[in-house]
Amino acid sequence: MPATLTTEAPRKKRKLLSRRRKEIDTSTYSGKFAQRILDLRIQAGLTAAEVSEKLRVSLSSYQNWERGDNCPPVEMLIPLSFTLRVPVSDLFPTDAETVITGTSNAIDTSTYSGRFAVRLKELRESASLTRKELAERCDLPEKMVIELETAKREPNTTVLKRLAESLEVSVRDMIPER
């Protein structure tokens, strides 16, 4: 009888540990990435142990990726996407706040589009809106709002009017000072 007690105890301990899984902090990019690979693994019908075995990494390393404690090395992205049966691009979160806009986040404010980008971001943040919320209010594609805020695009008159109405400011307030 003591033998069965010793084999049952580890199972119960494992169940308790799995219930104590910490919440993923999705306010950070690594947290959003972690949540994304967790969701994709579940969709693929795989366990964390199966994924770690296929990737030839330790289970604890893979679990750290899913918790957002660490991110996988770049060279693991293709094998990870293959294992989860998705394109590499699907591994990454795609909401507007986490879109990678380039190698440098610095905006050249010597150009009109750069000054407009800074002004738009100031107005959007003062209205406590995300890029997605602003896009929805203006009935514009979210990608366009991102491009406007990153100085990759200049607004036309119609877009300028929609933005001003949505942010409850005048068109004049939207135009940046030189």
pLDDT tens-digit profile of 38-66? Answer: 889 998 899 999 999 999 999 999 998 98
The rounded distance, in Å, linking the Cα atoms of 1 and 118 is 72
- Distance from C-alpha of 158 to C-alpha of 165, rounded to nearest angstrom: 11
Q: Give start-end residues of each CATH 1.10.260.40 domain in the chain.
A: 24-93, 98-174
The residue count of the chain comes to: 178
Q: What is the pLDDT of residue 59?
A: 93
Fold designation for 98-174: 434 Repressor (Amino-terminal Domain) (1.10.260)
Domain 24-93 grouped into CATH 1.10.260.40: yes
pLDDT value, residue 46: 92
Phi, psi of 45 (to 5 degrees): 70, 30
Q: 0.75 exceeded by the pTM?
A: no
Q: Each residue's pLDDT tens digit in the chain (178 positions)? A: 444 444 444 454 444 344 445 676 666 667 788 888 988 999 889 999 999 999 999 999 999 898 888 888 888 889 999 999 988 878 877 653 344 333 345 666 777 788 888 889 999 999 999 999 999 999 999 999 988 988 888 888 888 899 999 999 988 888 877 6
Q: Tell me the three-class secondary structure of the chain, residue by residue.
A: CHHHHHHHHHHHHHHHHHHCCCCCCCCCHHHHHHHHHHHHHHHCCCCHHHHHHHHCCCHHHHHHHHHCCCCCCHHHHHHHHHHHCCCHHHHCCCCHHHCCCCCCCCCCCCCHHHHHHHHHHHHHHHCCCCHHHHHHHHCCCHHHHHHHHCCCCCCCHHHHHHHHHHHCCCHHHHCCCC
Residues 6+ apart with CB under 8 A from 24: 31, 34, 35, 38, 66, 67, 68
The rounded percent of the chain whose pLDDT value lies above 70 is 74
